[in-house]
Amino acid sequence: MAYLATRQRRKEKLMSWPAITEYPRVSIIVPAYNEAVNAVNSVNNLLKTNWPNTEIIFVDDGSKDGTYEKVFNAFKSHSRVKVFTKPNGGKASALNFGIKESNAEYVICIDADTHLHPDAIPKMMRHLTSPQPPPVEGEKNLSSPTGGGREGVVGAVAGNVKVGNLVNMLTRWQSIEYITSQNFDRKAFAWLNAITVVPGAIGAFRKKAISAAGGFTTDTLAEDCDLSVRILRQGYTITNEHEALAFTEAPESIGMFIKQRFRWSFGVMQTFWKHRQVLFTKQNKALGWAAFPNILLFQFIIPAFAPVADIFMLIGILTGNAGHILLYYGLFMLVDAAVSVLAFHFEKEKKSRLLWLLPQRLIYRWLMLTVLFKAFLKAVKGELQGWGVLKRTGSVQATKEAYTVA
C-alpha cells in the first residue's frame, strides 16, 4: 500500500492541469435526516464555494427534529438553494431524489454535517471536465475496465475527508485513522483505478456514470461503496483528489462511534457479498485481484482472528517467550508507525499528533473489533439495519490552518 500510495503521489505531483475557462453547472446534493444542528451552517458553507455555477439541492428525508423547517426558512428566498422534503426512505433514496431534481451534468454528493474548503469543488471538477486524464511520463494505468466506450472517462472523484471536531481523544483517534487508513488506502488504490468508496462526505460524479450504474441503491447500508464498485464495473475511472478537503463531524461518544462504524462495516460486508462474483475475475482485474481481496483479508478475515492472536501472545509472554514476542511486536509497531508517518507526510499534517498512535492502536482497535463482531452477528442472523441517527453537536471547524494542510 505504501508503494502504491507513493507512486500515486508522484503521479499527482507531475500532473499539469489546464486552466479552467468554462464552469459547467454543478448540483450539490445534500441528503439529511435529523440534522437540524448542522444543516443551516453546512448550506451557508456551500454557498462560499469558488465554483460560480452551482446550485444546492437540500433533501430532507422525513426528519423529526425540524430540519426541513429550519433550512427552508433560512433559504426560501435564495436563488441557488432548493429545499425539499420527502417521506423517510434512507440516504440512498434521498440522494436519488436530489439527483432527479438536478438538471446539471455533474453532481457533488456530501453529508449534511460536512463543511467544504472553498476550492474543493474546482479541485474535483478539473478531473471531470478535462477531456482526458493528463498524461504522466513513466506511469502506467493498471486498471482493466470492461469497455463500453468508457475507458479513461472519469465517472467519479473522491475527495479528502478530515475530522473537523478534534474535541476529545476519540475524535483524535478517528482523525488518525482517516489519514493513515482511509485516505492513505484511497490514494494507493487510485493508482490501480480500484477505489471502492467515493466517500459520502465529499464525492463528485458525472451524472451519466451514476445513471449507467443504476443510481444509488437501498439494498446495502454502504450506498457510497456499492455505487463506486458499480461505476468501476461499468468501465469508468474513479480518481482521487487529495486537495479537495471536506471536514466532517466524527462521533464524540463511544456509543455513537460504534453505531456509525457498525453501519459502515455491515454495509461494506453487504456490498462485498453483492459483488462477490468480481473476486479473482479476469474482468475488472484491479477490483478482483487487489481491492476485493484487500477487503476480504484485512477488513474481515484477519481482524476476526485478532482476539485469538492476542490470547496466544499473552500465553507466550506468561510462559517464558516474552523476549521473542515483544521483539516481533516492537517491529510490528515500528513498521506501523513508519507507514503512519508517511501518510501524515503526504498530507502535510503535524506529525506530533502521532503521539496518540500507540493508545489508538491498543484501545481503538478493540472498539473496531466490537463493531466487526456485531456486524458478523447481524449478518448470520440475516437481519436488516436502517439509516439510523447520530447525535450531532455542530462542532465542526474548518479552520484556516486545516485549509492549508493540502
Cβ-based burial of 48 (10 A; exposed 0-12, middle 13-18, buried ≥19): exposed
pLDDT-based confidence at 330, cuts 50/70/90?
confident
pLDDT at residue 378 in the model: 84
Per-residue pLDDT at 339 exceeds 80: yes
- 21 and 113 in a single domain? The answer is yes
Split at pLDDT 50, 70, 90, the class of 400 is: very low
* pLDDT reported for residue 10: 94
Identify whether residues 6 and 68 lie together within a single domain. Answer: yes
Least confident of 60-64, 317-321, 334-338: 317-321
pLDDT of residue 207: 97
Same domain, 234 and 368: no
Residues 142, 71, single domain; the answer is: yes
In a domain, 330, yes or no: yes
142 pLDDT tier (thresholds 50, 70, 90): very low
- Same domain? For 353 and 305 the reply is yes
Which pLDDT value is given to residue 223? Answer: 94
Residue 188 lies in a domain: yes
Contacting residues for 149 by C-beta, under 8 A, at least 6 apart: 235
- Report the range of poorest mean pLDDT among 154-168, 214-228, 249-263, 308-322: 308-322
- Residue 270 is assigned to a structural domain of this protein: no
Span 294-304, pLDDT tens digits: 999 999 998 88
- Same domain for 249 and 307? no
| Whole-number percent of the chain with pLDDT over 90 | 68
Q: 267 in a domain, yes or no?
A: no
pLDDT confidence band for 110 (50 / 70 / 90): very high
Q: Do the beta carbons of residue 392 and residue 113 sit within 8 Å?
A: yes
Rounded mean pLDDT, 351-371: 86
Distance CA 10, CA 1 (A): 14
312 in the same domain as 354: yes
CATH code (residue 55): 3.90.550.10
Instruction: List CB contacts of 60: < 8 A, sequence separation 6 or more.
Output: 32, 33, 67, 68, 71, 83, 84, 85, 86, 94
d(CA 226, CA 138): 32
Same domain, 236 and 348: no
Span 381-399, pLDDT tens digits: 766 555 555 555 556 766 5
| Residue 345 belongs to a domain | yes
Please choose, from the candidates 342, 116, 120, 80, the residue with its C-alpha nearest in 3D space to the C-alpha of residue 248.
116
- What pLDDT is stored for residue 312 in this prediction? 85
Specify the number of domains making up the chain: 2
CB 201 within 8 A of CB 161: yes
Q: Which of 2-16, 129-143, 226-240 has the lowest mean pLDDT?
A: 129-143
Average pLDDT, the chain: 88
**277 part of a folded domain:** no
Give 299-320 pLDDT, tens digit per residue: 999 888 888 888 888 888 888 8
54 and 191 belong to one structural domain: yes
Shared domain check, 305 and 217:
no
Instruction: Give the structural domain span for 366.
Output: 285-381
Same structural domain, 182 and 218 = yes
Please give the pLDDT value at position 317: 86
Asked if 246 and 321 sit in the same domain, the reply is: no
